[in-house]
């Protein structure tokens, strides 16, 4: 462990697996106290055990991030336990893949409630705490929205809404020394692994399109990058979108 984030308290949503787990571990290894937030307590407890095995501090809070009351309670519990909130990572997102012509109201509602609406709730709940000593928010977009990938209609809508929300917050909250950035990641998460198993040929094509020749590792590639963003190393970065996809998507 290093002490780059010593004394800072972080909330990571969707922390029970995949990228959320990787970010939580990376933050904890830099000495941040990490609140693991998600719907499935058992998964969160497993990640919490991993964090503690590295010598880190973890708090498990089961919460439906699409419920404002639940989010408000979660943030207050974290602030009480850790003495404040300095870092917010909005990673949670639910959606379905479907052709645009077949996309339903329920598909859109599902993507929006778990994505931009949940992100807004967490940002608003954390704002009073982040104002105290400044802080950093990292929200998650997607290259499927940047590129317009087929079958990702409702998901792409939600992810671009998150990017728009993040840019507005970066302008409005910069006066409080709060930085807000977006990350578009590519990682071998459980969902990516399931997709790879289901469509090996398409997955192989994706790998061939990545200049670095591999999918990102949730902790080493995505988690450590997020750690850098929220640290003082990138303290002048706000309102940005960082595409962490090994060069598959060149955005700028």
Q: Which residues are catalytic, by number?
A: 155
Cα–Cα distance, 120 to 240 (Å, whole number): 17
N-to-C CA span, the chain: 34
Closest among 78, 92, 80, 93 to 10, alpha carbons compared: 78
Residue whose token pair is 């336990």: 81
Angle between helices 118-133 and 68-82 (to 10 degrees): 30
What lies within 8 Å, CB to CB, of 70 at 6+ separation is: 63, 64
């Amino acid at each position: 462990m290093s002490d780059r984030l010593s004394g800072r308290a972080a909330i990571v949503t969707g922390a029970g697996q995949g990228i959320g787990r990787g970010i939580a571990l990376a933050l904890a290894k830099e000495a941040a106290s990490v609140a693991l937030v998600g719907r499935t307590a058992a998964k969160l407890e497993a990640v919490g055990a991993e964090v503690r095995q590295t010598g880190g501090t973890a708090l498990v809070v089961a919460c439906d991030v699409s419920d404002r009351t639940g989010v408000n309670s979660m943030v207050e519990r974290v602030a009480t336990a850790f003495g404040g909130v300095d870092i917010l990572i909005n990673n949670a997102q639910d959606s379905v893949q479907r052709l645009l012509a077949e996309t339903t109201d329920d598909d859109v509602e599902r993507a929006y409630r778990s994505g931009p609406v949940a992100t807004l709730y967490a940002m608003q709940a954390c704002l009073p705490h982040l104002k105290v000593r400044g802080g950093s928010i990292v929200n998650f977009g997607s290259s499927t929205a940047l590129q317009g990938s087929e079958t990702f209609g409702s998901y792409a809508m939600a992810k671009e809404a998150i990017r728009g929300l993040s840019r507005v917050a970066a302008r409005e909250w910069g006066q409080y020394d709060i930085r807000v950035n977006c990350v578009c990641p590519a990682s071998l998460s459980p969902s990516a692994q399931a997709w790879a198993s289901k469509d090996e040929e398409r997955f192989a094509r994706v790998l061939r399109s990545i200049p670095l020749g591999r999918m990102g590792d949730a902790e080493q590639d995505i988690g450590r990058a997020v750690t850098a963003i929220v640290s003082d190393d990138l303290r002048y970065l706000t309102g940005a979108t960082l595409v962490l996809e090994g060069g598959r998507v060149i955005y700028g």
